[in-house]
Structure 1
């Protein structure tokens, strides 16, 4: 590691543009990615500029933020009425308004023209551009002007697949397809990109398969965990506390299976308690399931936590259960390991790859397997301690933002050299 860092520090310092159509941590893993990657690249000595649409990212003060405004309709109480009529004289704004009010997700289409205008006016400010899965069609022409690297966290085809499987309602299926109507554009763009980065081997294979790409264009760069926030506690954990994850009733998170498993766990361990990070929809599918199983008073949902409160939730848990049907990386599993908590994860996407031997891996969508794995960790403290030790070591070795930045630094320089050679060969 020391030799690699020395080699990097002798390289030219780069002007890097990180682009994302939304970057706030509440936007999910992509917001976390922009925040921490920008820090790690800046710490290597690079000049980093984050170029983002709203909601804007929370980044370190020494890192430049360029705001690319939009109508930001998803922050409005009324997407149809809460917009000035004069704003709709812009064709791009009109497209955004129509899309948002007809069940679509406009940002993958409307961010691109705004980005293109900014790059045309400021191309000389950057040595390389790093796209955070905007996958807008404007990237195709952009990579002719500047070296371009694109991160694809996972193919959104997976989200579409699991959401369609979660309902038999014909009209709801139409709405789901409408929301995901940007996917064909993403696939077309991805096929023409010269360099794609993915956060896991599993995600890379799925991108290749679902987007019909060539392996040669893809490199794995694992995401990192902030070890300054996520680390073990000296306090004892709470016996029989289970921590799981929710995301507004998203089927892909697999929370249903944890909820269905919980009554069986309580039969053997009556003192068992379940806390869930995240929110669910009021009177939505998950709330109805909880009520049907008479678990309203047994499950605690927590959200809006500070870093210290989030760490406390992990560290106070006997076990963390990540029942996701699919994850491109799985921040929660890595955060749990960093906090010294064993994780029960499904073999969904990258989760098995992330935990290795530091967790229990189960079949996706199998509540009985969740029951067995949790019961085993409740019963055998030596097994738990062994997994805790392996998890802490694994995160420190494989999942740091410093390591991610070092790998990306090398990729950036490769792409800059390749871009220069291509320009030279055309002259």
Structure 2
């Protein structure tokens, strides 16, 4: 039996990518594995009530003042105090002070992300700018310190190998999962909910627009202008996520802006959509694409970075710089009911390939490898895969 620490300091109410990864991985891993003792590090302000109680799981509250201080000093301190055999962190800046073997989990390298974020550099606070510089400085060293590196896509693995000369066997691709609550339901039922709660008047195309340049929302708006002119059916574009965008006057009545939504409302929004579009410039995994497919919504997405791995042949891939390609794709799917049905069915099947049970077991096998233990054999019960 080993003592394993897991960084869950990013877990937060209605958290996004990393937060959801940490929460789902930890919950699933602790349900499946009773052999090891797990020490889960939580932000002091976050309650452990979001996780199921397990006798082999211990909650360690860390009062985080600044993330960098936590990464460099608090984690090494607790790793030594708790006599951990292994620790997993979702950080670009591992500490040189820690002597505990570390599994580093990353979705995207900061170098690749920063090339799209430079547009906002002037808007960042002084602390954010300093933090970014520290990240770029520490990241190559963190890759060398880590015993193993977990990534969410083959694209990210290839990028790390090419840019930082990391050995292939040090990097493991562990595809993430999707919560079971994301599932298909009657469109008429969910669209009625969307109309009542969000002021949507009929059929709609869904796109997430939080204000991140990588989301490529300007391309979506440009393509939608053409769609609206060519389809005389009153279809709307829903921008969810709370990003601020200036709309052309002729689009004002056909674009609905929504804030960041809690999971229950988010699922209803997916389920009621006629189409989901995501022409992102860069994704380390692509949670939203997976969620849309799981909810039975046809997807048109970018052919860049990790997205083709997640979407496969279940949707349409387009050049993220080509608004005409996006416009034609949307017209094609919305006009052709047979194609719409085919993409829906293929998307549901594609989404089934990604689940948290598989991700947790693959992560556990990496732990076992580092610790020099025999990998456990999964035993199937009626509802779960159990590791004994």
Scaled by the length of structure 1, the TM-score of the pair is 0.76
For residues 10-409 of structure 1, the aligned pairs below 5 Å read 14-24=2-12, 26-46=14-34, 47-53=37-43, 56=46, 59-62=50-53, 64-71=58-65, 96=66, 107-123=67-83, 126-132=84-90, 134-138=91-95, 140-142=96-98, 144-145=99-100, 147-164=101-118, 166=119, 178=130, 180-181=132-133, 182-227=135-180, 229-236=181-188, 240-247=203-210, 249-270=211-232, 271-281=234-244, 286=245, 288=246, 290=247, 292=248, 294-396=250-352, 398-409=353-364
Contact 1:148 1:194 in 2 (8 A): yes
SS at match of 1:50: strand
Residues in 2 aligned to 1:297 and 1:48: alpha-carbon distance in whole angstroms: 52
Contact 2:76 2:97 in 1 (8 A): no
Q: Which residue of 2 aligns with 1:81?
A: none
Question: 1:233 Cα deviation (Å)?
Answer: 0.2
SS at match of 2:237: strand
CA RMSD of aligned residues (A): 2.6
Q: Give CA deviations for 1:257-311 in whole Å, capped at 9, x if unaligned.
A: 1112111110112411011220114xxxx2x3x2x45433322222343322111
Question: 1:370 Cα deviation (Å)?
Answer: 1.3
Question: 1:130 Cα deviation (Å)?
Answer: 1.4
Question: 1:22 Cα deviation (Å)?
Answer: 2.4
Contact 1:108 1:135 in 2 (8 A): no
Question: 1:221 Cα deviation (Å)?
Answer: 0.4
Q: Give CA deviations for 1:306-356 in whole Å, capped at 9, x if unaligned.
A: 322111111101110112111000000000010111111101221111010
SS at match of 1:358: coil
Q: Which runs of 5+ in 1 are unaligned?
A: 1-11, 72-95, 97-106, 419-427
Q: Which runs of 5+ in 2 are unaligned?
A: 192-201, 374-388
Residues in 2 aligned to 1:27 and 1:230: alpha-carbon distance in whole angstroms: 16
Contact 2:319 2:325 in 1 (8 A): yes
Question: 1:234 Cα deviation (Å)?
Answer: 2.7
Residues in 2 aligned to 1:318 and 1:410: alpha-carbon distance in whole angstroms: 40
Report the count of equivalent residues.
Answer: 354
Residues in 2 aligned to 1:38 and 1:174: alpha-carbon distance in whole angstroms: 32
